[in-house]
Amino acid sequence: MAPEHNSTRHDRDGVARAALALLDEVGLADLSMRRIAGRLDVQPSALYWHFSSKQELLAELADRITAGIPRDDADVLTTARSIRDALFTYRDGAELVLSTYALRLGSSYAHTALEAALTRHGLSDAPERAAALLHFVLGHATLVQQRMHADSHGAALDDHTIDVTAGLDRVFDLGVAALAGESSGAGLTARATPHPSAPRRAPA
């Protein structure tokens, strides 16, 4: 598609950063190319100079959300937690990464990090276990974000003094341990202290 005359006012990085900011403000369902273009004060067609499709842009956003996952010497539980926390960084971050992963778009930072950690843990079937763990992490994080989003709109529970995510840290650690072949999470991390996650509250 031919670029608009003002398409070069913004580069690929600027478009992605604007899209991430809007994701935080309006959520994935309302993250349209038209809305992103409006934020940048360009025509929607100008965005296609930098991204061939909305799917390519979403894949870039997924890569940015997961780019900070440690891939060097982190243990299995720390790696899984870091992926989950990265997904919580942005509103609907889990849903966005899940959707791009389902379509096999973007990079495989999260899978690669889990596979490396599982390999260091001495598991011969690390690639398969990494896939299973990633499915669990994505599903768990999506569930948590949806519960929080529903709660912020008064749709989760009548009693708003109840924490809709209570106990989910323990559920998460148990799930990681089970999929990594451990009876408990103790053997998966060098740190024995619980991880007090603080998932991003969905804006009202």
pLDDT value of residue 96: 96
pLDDT value of residue 106: 86
Question: Which residue pairs, CB below 8 angstroms and at least 24 apart, start in 194-197?
Answer: 194/169, 194/170, 195/77, 195/81, 195/169, 196/169, 197/81, 197/84, 197/85, 197/88, 197/168, 197/169, 197/172
d(CA 37, CA 39): 5
pLDDT value of residue 148: 80
Q: What is the mean pLDDT of the chain?
A: 83
Q: What percent of the chain has pLDDT over 70?
A: 77
Predicted structure pTM score = 0.80
Q: What is the CATH number of domain 67-188?
A: 1.10.357
Portions of the chain given CATH number 1.10.10.60: 7-52
Our measurement of the distance from residue 169's CA atom to the centroid of its chain's CA atoms, rounded to an integer in Å, reads: 17
pLDDT, tens digit, for every residue of 127-159? 999 999 999 999 999 999 988 877 666 655 555
d(CA 124, CA 30): 43
Which of 41-55, 58-72, 165-179, 185-199 has the weakest average pLDDT? Answer: 185-199
Portions of the chain given CATH number 1.10.357: 67-188
For residue 77, name the pLDDT band (cuts at 50, 70, 90).
very high
pLDDT value of residue 3: 41
pLDDT, tens digit, for every residue of 152-196? 666 555 555 555 567 888 999 999 999 998 744 445 554 433 444
- CATH classification for the domain delimited by 7-52, as one of 3.40.50.150, 1.10.287.70, 1.10.10.60, 1.10.40.30: 1.10.10.60
Q: How far are the Cα atoms of 61, 80, 110, 140 from residue 135, in angstroms, in the given order?
A: 19, 11, 11, 8
For residue 113, name the pLDDT band (cuts at 50, 70, 90).
very high
CA angle 145, 147, 149 (to 5 degrees): 65
